[in-house]
Each structure stands twice: as C-alpha cells, then as structure tokens.
Amino acid sequence: MLTKLHFPTFLLTFILLFGSLTCASFADEITLKNGDRITGTVVDAKDGQLQIATPYASKILVNFDQILSIETDTPVTVRFQGTEVLKGRLATRDGQVILLAGEERGETVIAWDRVRSLNVPDITWNGNIFLGGTHQAGNTDRMSLSFGANAVRRSLDDRFSLSFLYNYAEEDNELTTRDAYGAMKYDYFFTSRFYGLLSAELLKDKFKDLNLRAVVGPGVGYQIWDDARKGLDVEAGIAYFSEDRVEGEDEQWMTARLAAVFRYQFTSWLRFTDTFILYPHLEEGGEYTLRNDAALITSLSANWSLRLNNIWERDSDPAPGVKKDDSKTTVALQYSF
C-alpha cells in the first residue's frame, strides 16, 4: 500500500528529471579559447560575430576568432563567401569545425574566414508600424492623431528603405496640425561598407505654407558601424530642392545633402534611433533646411513596443508668417516585423 501511494510521486519526479536532462542535452554548446563555455541556441552569425540566445542572460555576441569548439543540436544554414550555401549541424573534431554530413553530401570542414553568415537569409525585410493619439473633452476639446510606418529591404548588394508619417490635430473644432511626410532611399553597396544612393523626400504641411516640398538627388554613404548593438551611416550628396507653396511664391534650387543615421541598443528592451538630414543651400550662402528624427523605443513583448518620438525641423528662410523651428513629440504604440 505504501509503495502504491508513493509510486505517482516517484513517476512524476522521474519524468521531470528526465525532461530536464533531455532539454539540457538538446542545446547548442560553444567553448571559447579562454575556457568559458556557453550553452544556449545559436541564433545567427554575421560580420564575424556569432549570436547566442541563452535562458539566463540576454543574447550574447562572440567573435569567430574566439571560438575553440562549437556543437549545434539543430541544423544551421551556412552561407560562404560567394554563393555557396550548405545546411547541417556543426561539430568540432581535432580542432576543426565540421558541418556534419547531409543526405546529398559528406562532412565539410568549415573555416570561419570563409563564412559569411549563419541563419541569415540573403534578402531580409524589417520595419515597424506605429500609432499614437490623444483625446480631451471638457474645458478643452482637443484631439490628435499620429500614424507612421518604416520598412527596409536588405540584400547582399543593395538596400531599399521607405518611411511615412502623418500628423493631425484639432482643438475646439479648429484644425491646428495636418502634415504628411514620406521618404524613399535606394543604396547600392560597392563594398561591404561603401555605397551609392538615390534619395527622395516629400513633405506636405498647410501650416508651413507647403503644398508640396520635394527633394531628390544622388549621393554616397559609408557604414561606420553595423552590428547587432549599434549602427552609424554617414552620407553626402547633392539634391534638387523644390517648394510648391500654398500662398507664397514657388521656389526651386540646388542643395547639398548631408545625413547621419544612428542606432544603439542600450539593453534588450531599450533602443535609440536618430536620423539627421541637413540641406545647405548651394546658391544662397548661410541658408539651410534640416530635419532630425529621434526615437526612444522600449519593448513590451517580442513585437510590440512603446515609442517616444521627437521630430525637429528648421528652415532658415521660411515663408512669411512661418516660424523657423517646428518640433513634434509623440508617444505611440509600435508593432515591429
């Protein structure tokens, strides 16, 4: 009778113990040259760094040249320099990294200096959609809406980016804000860091006397940083600048284009981004237009975030009755893909 009473407890304990041992054995394991051992899941690798997800810390980045051995429990997709792509589990034997045999090939020795990436497709899409708004009724009747979206397509040779932002506000049934902004940019990479570009920006804003502002032109750019934690691109070029005004006189001129795109991942849940664009007038010295778009993004879940956004625009020579500086700060809910 005593044995029967304790048997369910014994069985449950056995199942839990066996499950934990099984889960522990089915994990990727990386040993570093300094003797440290990391157990987790290989997420991906690019730019000479391997990214590992662990249950006890945020994702870890390890340089290829610091890896002594690696064992993966599930297959990884290895893209080599050039166009060769192989898939299989990784193992280490006699100091050599081996891609274990598959159905159509034997074992393959892997040299890290030949590896372009792990688990990273040649073409990727990423972006976000965000929506924010306020409503106040009573002594003051106020309503505002902000909607935007960004998307980036990246391949080995090029990058295409799109962005859109719409703002609307009214107070006591009187319109106070209505503007729409759109930007497109195509980058072609001559090397892994140096690229040529073609950009276009459009802005419509009744309160700036702008029926449509269009800026289009070519340029070049250079990636100073581009890894999982941080990124910095700097760009320079020329552009055709056109302003179709609602009431004032239309104008067109040539301008330079200077830009910087920065991002930094402070923690696994906090990220900062900033895009700065300056258009110095090439025909009228000292005149310029600039736009700075900064955002602080805090993750709420895998895809959802809270976005605090500030956009500062300055026109050194605005239309009559329009102020030089314009600043908008919004809080929005963001979905990333």
DSSP 148-195: EEEEEEE-SSEEEEEEEEEEEEEETTEEEEEEEEEEEEEEEESSSSEE
Domains and CATH numbers, the chain: 27-118 (no CATH), 124-336 (2.40.160.40)
Q: What is the DSSP letter of 283?
A: S
How far is it, in rounded angstroms, from Cα 224 to Cα 70? 30
Max Cα-Cα span within the chain? 99
Q: In this predicted structure, what is the pLDDT of residue 259? A: 98
Residue 191, CB-side half-sphere exposure with 13 Å CA sphere = 7
- Predicted pLDDT of residue 184: 98
- CA dist 276 and 180 (Å) reads 18
pLDDT at 6: 55
pLDDT per residue as tens, the chain (337 positions): 444 445 555 544 544 444 444 444 458 999 999 999 999 999 999 888 999 998 877 788 899 999 999 999 999 999 988 878 899 999 998 888 999 987 778 889 988 888 988 998 889 899 999 999 998 888 889 999 999 999 999 998 999 999 999 999 999 989 999 999 999 999 999 998 999 999 999 999 999 999 999 999 999 999 999 887 899 999 999 999 999 999 989 999 999 999 999 999 999 899 999 999 999 999 888 899 999 999 999 999 989 999 999 999 999 999 888 999 999 999 999 999 9
Question: Does residue 107 contact residue 101 with C-beta atoms inside 8 Å?
Answer: yes
Residue with tokens 């106040």: 136
Whole-number pLDDT of residue 2: 41
The sheet with strand 108-110 has its strands ordered as 90-93, 96-99, 108-110
